[in-house]
Amino acid sequence: MTAPDFTHLHQRMLAEISAETIYSSAQLGKAALGRRVMDVMAKVPRHEFVRLELQPFAYDDTPLPIGFDKTISQPFIVAVMTDLLDLRPTDIVLEIGTGLGYQSAILAELAQRVYSIELIEDLAVQARRRLARQGYANIEIRIGNGCGGWPEHAPFDKVIVAAAPELIPAALLYQLKPGGKMVIPAGLPDAQQLMLVEKDVSGTLSTKEIFAVRFSLLEDAEAG
């Protein structure tokens, strides 16, 4: 497809995100996502982070397969999860589940540095290549199990998880900095909720359910 084709589809995606946000305003507590988040959703080319044969569908507001029974998340969900993090330019972020790097790119536009963990080596290799091609130099990807986080770089200002455990891993809670936020899907496979976890300056944790979601499972041997 040509660049103008993608431009039109990209604009349609942004309109669909805005409409879905209004529809979900009761759960989100607002009818519009932050301007910085929407500007980045407008900037990052999603078609560069999907398989070539699926590029014509890159700007549909839907998950798309990336191989290994994994998907790139629906743009609306990416935007909401990013918005909930309330990212600042100085933030150090931990991401669990790199996939092909689309969410990583969104985070990298808004934070100082992103540390991302991907279990599946082939996806991690592809993500590194795609992110380098887009010029991102503030993302480090590690191949491994995301349940244990990345202790060497902890604590993190923000944590975002792209797969769902039944219970939030204790290591991720521990590695969240006081004053920090985590966005994670959690719950039984048929009853997952997108969760906002906040740790206050004294280290006390609070959780809030946002709305029902369906993500791949985050298991002891899986974090993609």
Residue with tokens 């989100």: 28
Tell me the whole-structure pTM to 2 decimals.
Answer: 0.93
CB contact at 8 A, 81 and 106: no
In three-state form (DSSP H/G/I as H, E/B as E, the rest C), the secondary structure along 85-110 is HCCCCCCEEEEECCCCCHHHHHHHHH
CB contact at 8 A, 111 and 89: yes
Full set of structural domains in the chain with CATH: 62-212 (3.40.50.150)
Instruction: Decide: helix, strand or coil at residue 221.
Output: coil
Residue 111 backbone dihedrals phi, psi, to 5 degrees? -120, 170
User: What pLDDT score was predicted for residue 4?
Assistant: 59
User: What pLDDT score was predicted for residue 216?
Assistant: 87
Instruction: Decide: helix, strand or coil at residue 11.
Output: helix
Which pair of structure tokens corresponds to residue 86? 């309330």
CB contact at 8 A, 215 and 77: no
Q: Which residues are catalytic?
A: 73
Residue 36 and residue 39: Cα distance in Å, rounded?
Answer: 5
> Which residues are paired to 132 by β-bridges?
none
Mean pLDDT by runs of 10 across the 224 residues of the chain is: 77 97 94 97 97 94 92 96 97 97 98 97 97 97 95 97 94 97 94 96 95 85 38
Residue 13 and residue 44: Cα distance in Å, rounded?
Answer: 12
